[in-house]
Amino acid sequence: MHFVFLIFGIMISFLSIGQKKTIDQKVDSVLKLMTLDEKVGQMNQYNGDWDATGPITADGDKQNQIRKGMLGSMLNVTGVEHTRQLQEIAMQSRLKIPLLFGQDIIHGYRTTFPVPLAEAASWDLNAIQLSARIAATEAAASGVHWTFAPMVDIARDPRWGRVMEGAGEDPYLGSLIAKARVNGFQGKGLGNTDALMACAKHYAAYGAAIGGRDYNAVDMSLNTLWEIYLPPFRAAADAGAATFMNSFNTLNGIPATGNGYLQRDILKGKWNFKGFIVSDWNSVGEMIPHGFAKDNYDASLEAITAGNDMDMESRSYINNLSKLVKDGRVNMKLVDDAVKRILKKKFEMGLFEDPFKFSNKEREQHQWNNSENLEAEKSMAEKSIVLLKNDNQLLPLLKQKNIALIGPFIKGIRDNLGFWSYTWPDDSSRIVSAWQGIKNKVGSNVNLLYAKGCNINDTSHAGFSEAIATATQADVVILNVGEAADWSGEAKSRSNIHLPGVQEELIRAIYATGKPVVVMINAGRPLIFNWTADHVPAILYTWWLGTKAGDAIADVLFGDYNPSAKLPMSFPRDEGQIPIYYNYFNTGRPAKGDSDLNYVSSYIDLPNSPKFPFGYGLSYTTFSYSDIKLSAASFKPGQTLTASVVVTNTGKYDGIETVQLYTRDLVGSVVRPVKELKGFQQVSLKTGANKTITFHITANDLKFYNNKLEYNYEAGDFKIFIGTNSHDVKEASFALVK
Ligand code: NOJ
């Protein structure tokens, strides 16, 4: 009898879902039908063992749990076939609530794009958005609903391996890129079959792990938190990111996963975020070794109280949350709120109407080999390559008779993709190595010579003599070095970020032949290569550029693309300078220059300045900047100040320049950084052409957090800087008056 009523109830509720109810009403009707255990089930997420031998999950128990409604989501299950199989099991559960499938679509899916840090170097928001759009389209066609991206952690420490997943050190640039990526992933909106739910992560301050050691504690002032680390999260929330992921780290003594200030007060409170928060992998359980929770029961209590809605893989919620409610420790309202947030996203995705909406073989097949996506990837890769040095205009190269291609990366295949990329057995033929790209470009009239020289992390010099002999026969040498593809990424912190092994020795040996040398550096982070930077005439930073890496590299080497990228992170001279970033605070004893060492704030053995500053990147052409013209010497809140410069292409090539605007608030109630990026514009100029670039500044652009954490501007004197990077700028002054 009871059973009949239940079925009737479910039918009524689901039927009425079809009528004109708001999503919130639909969510409420489903929630009403759910038992406490089913609610907790929605808050539970498991890994799918997609790389295990079984077709979906080797763990039969997980399938049973899906059948019992004890699971709301899975990660790492992908492909139309696999996701369909699991969704079919979910449809055998009492309430038939569809599963959400999540995956780390960090820089592409079938088509691998440059690592996010490399893309950030493009400063091209449209291209970055398109990259996320394509990744979403491909992944959504393979049954994925949700990406654990964008990672919007600000990073000032290149030892931290995860710098490759983000947009670098600057909160302004980082916020714009966060928005572009959320918009890209979510496309025209959830519910479209090519939209993935975005997930801003890792909330919050994960990038400031002490010593750059992954998962480490974070300790920072609230001013730094609000001013530097939170803005990209705010931007992602404002852009409508469907979900957030909290983080592994403690922040000022409280694990982010159990941090009510971050999750309830700021994100769900002040920012009015309506999506749901997923934990990071086992981060609920990891509050035990942190020393914040006694056991998983306690950890669940802390996590739900703090606002964590879904538990990734720790099984803390599924094993404890119902009991916590029954014990009166957790108010049912907290559970209901979390479940509503999760169900709401499932409704918005359209999964209640059609749980198999993302399981379309044809769509998957089409996206599997989409040549337009590959073209967009190549273009993104070109925009990501940073020209660090080009003495005597060695680049672009002529198609000379003999070109030597040397180094452990020049024929690399998998090495072009970097961490968080997916490869398939058939995939290697699609990946264009530097060797292949150059070969395709130069044609058969050019004789390409090859020597590996050494391995990535070699101690042996055995390959040097062959490499030297090869270089000697060539007109020009292209030398491709760097760090291994899996040396940056999660849990890939390094205390030593110099070029690994004997690679810099190889560069010296090849340089000693007297041949012109171009060095290309593959990496997921800023590396240290001082000797190379001081001696070798031409250097390209080629990161991990993705599927069409070699084609993009060849276009740049031979001048079919004029480099336009700018560094999104400062490059240190030595690990001893880290953390290093352009927007630092002045001291009471600032050093006047790199050689001012006595009783000033400096190192006695190293300049303060980075090897390459934030925002730096050359072009094959040159740009000159006029002095800054201000519309007024002072302005008031409510008014707009305009600042303009004339930028002229003074070189021999057409090119793209990223004109950067920085300000400095000279005296504040709390001290202000020596420079803060406040705007940038990309301008494409034909050789000889010029353009007036105008920035509009209002008092709102000059706001900061005071010592009461109030966000406001203060009247006073300011400097304004406009230039080609954070160091080489024109300067002017203005005042903000009341
Ligand atoms: C742990 C990582 O920190 C996070 O970024 C990722 O999304 C999850 N694992 C799932 O793979």
CA distances from 507 to 395, 399, 487 (A): 18, 22, 21
Please list every protein residue whose CB sits less than 6 Å from any atom of ligand 1. Answer: 75, 104, 148, 201, 280-281, 490
Position in ligand 1 atom list of the atom nearest CA 165? 5
Place of tokens 């109407």: 353
Looking at residue 424, what is its pLDDT? 55
Separation of 163 CA from ligand 1 center, angstroms? 14
Which residue, by CA, sits nearest to atom 11 of ligand 1? 104
Contact 315, 327 (CB under 8 A): no
In angstroms, the Cα distances linking 403 to 440, 472, 512, 530 are 14, 10, 17, 25
Compute the distance from residue 215 Cα to the ligand 1 centre, in Å.
Answer: 12
Ligand 1 binding pocket mutation candidate from 75, 104, 115 (most atoms within 8 A of CB):
104
Sheet containing 655-665, strands listed edge to edge, beginning at the edge strand earlier in sequence: 634-635, 729-736, 716-723, 655-665, 676-685
Active site residue 280: yes
Paired residues of 112 in beta bridges: 108
CA distance 521 to 478: 11
Site to probe by mutation for ligand 1, drawn from 280, 419, 420 as the one with most ligand atoms within 8 Å of Cβ, is: 280
Integer Cα distance of 692 and 704 in angstroms: 29
Which residues contact residue 354 at a Cβ distance below 8 angstroms, ignoring those fewer than 6 apart?
none
* 657: helix, strand or coil: strand
Strands 476-482 vs 517-522: parallel, antiparallel or unpaired: parallel
Residue 397 contacts residue 556 (beta carbons within 8 Å): no
Hey, whose CA ends up nearest to atom 4 of ligand 1?
280
Residue 73 parent element (H or E): strand 73-75
Which atom of ligand 1 lies nearest, measured to the CA of 102?
A: 10
Of all atoms in ligand 1, which is nearest to the CA of residue 76?
11
Distance CA 515, CA 473 (A): 9
Tell how far the Cα of 281 is from the centroid of ligand 1, in angstroms: 6
Euclidean distance between CA atoms 319 and 297, whole angstroms: 8
Q: Pick the residue whose CA is nearest to atom 7 on ligand 1.
A: 148
Closest-lying ligand 1 atom to the alpha carbon of residue 202: 5
Amino acid at site 320: N
DSSP-derived 3-state class of residue 276: strand
CA dist 703 and 699 (Å) reads 7
pLDDT for 50:
47
Q: Which two structure tokens, joined as six digits, stand for 364?
A: 């998957």
Helix, coil or strand: residue 269 = helix
Distance between Cα 312 and ligand 1 center (Å): 9
484 Cβ contact list (under 8 Å, min separation 6): 415, 456, 457, 500
Q: How many CA atoms lie within 13 A of 372 on its CB side?
A: 8
* CA 471–ligand 1 middle distance (angstroms): 43
DSSP string of 676-707, one letter each residue: EEEEEEEEEE-TT-EEEEEEEE-GGGG-EE-T
| Nearest CA residue ID for atom 1, ligand 1 | 281
Helix 125-140 to helix 171-186 angle (10° resolution) is: 40
d(CA 575, ligand 1 centre) in Å: 27
Average pLDDT by stretches of 10, the chain with 738 residues = 46 53 97 98 87 46 92 94 95 98 96 97 99 98 97 98 98 99 98 98 98 98 98 98 98 98 98 98 97 98 98 96 98 98 98 97 91 97 99 95 97 90 71 97 96 97 98 98 95 98 98 98 98 98 97 98 98 98 98 92 96 98 98 98 98 98 98 98 98 98 98 98 98 97
Q: What is the CA radius of gyration of the chain?
A: 27
- Go through 277-308 and write b for each residue having 16 or more CB atoms within 10 A of its CB, e for each that does not: bbbbbbbbbbbbebebbeebbbbbbbbbbbbb
Using most ligand atoms within 8 A of CB, pick from 311, 490, 493 the residue to mutate for ligand 1.
490
pLDDT for the residue numbered 318: 97
Residue in 494, 497, 489, 509 with CA at minimum distance from that of residue 407: 509
Residues whose CB falls within 8 Å of the CB of residue 288, separated by 6 or more in sequence, listed in order: 294, 295, 296, 298, 299
Bridge partners, 218 (sequence order): 251
Residue 248 alpha carbon, nearest atom of ligand 1: 3
CA of 237 to the centre of ligand 1 (A): 19
Nearest atom in ligand 1 to 148's CA? 7
For ligand 1, the distance from its centroid to the CA atom of residue 374, given in whole angstroms, is: 26
Residue pair 262/246 in contact by the 8 Å Cβ criterion: yes
Element (H or E) spanning 64, and its range?
helix 60-67
How far, in Å, is the centroid of ligand 1 from the Cα of 705? 31
C-beta neighbour count of 79 within 10 angstroms: 18
Query: Letter for the amino acid at 561?
Result: Y
CB 540 within 8 A of CB 386: yes
Q: Which of 162, 312, 488 to mutate to test the pocket of ligand 1 (most atoms within 8 A of CB)?
A: 312
Residue nearest to atom 10 of ligand 1 (CA): 281
What number does the ligand 1 atom closest to the CA of 151 have? 5
Ligand 1 atom with the smallest distance to the CA of 201 is 5
Pocket test for ligand 1, best of 257, 279, 281 (most atoms within 8 A of CB): 281
CA dist., res. 360 & res. 80, Å (int): 6
Q: Give me the phi and psi of 681, to 5 degrees please.
A: -140, 140
In the reported structure, the alpha carbon of residue 148 is separated from the centroid of ligand 1 by a whole-number distance in angstroms of 7
Residue bearing the CA closest to ligand 1, atom 3: 280
Give SS3 for 218: strand
Residue nearest to atom 9 of ligand 1 (CA): 281
Which residues are within 8 A (CB) of 127 and not within 5 positions of it... i.e. 6 or more apart?
Answer: 119, 379, 380, 383
- Contact yes or no for 167/116 (Cβ under 8 A): yes
Q: How far apart are CA 230 and CA 169, in angstroms?
A: 12
pTM: 0.96
**Residue 519: enclosing H or E segment and its boundaries?**
strand 517-522
| Structural tokens at position 586 | 């002045």
Q: Which residue in 153, 280, 298, 551 is the catalytic one?
A: 280
Give the CA distances from residue 217 to residues 231, 332, 581, in Å, rounded to whole numbers and listed in that order.
20, 32, 20
Closest CA to 277 of 266, 291, 288, 285: 266
Contact 661, 647 (CB under 8 A): no
C-alpha separations of 293 from 246, 277, 278, 307, 693 in Å: 17, 20, 18, 16, 55
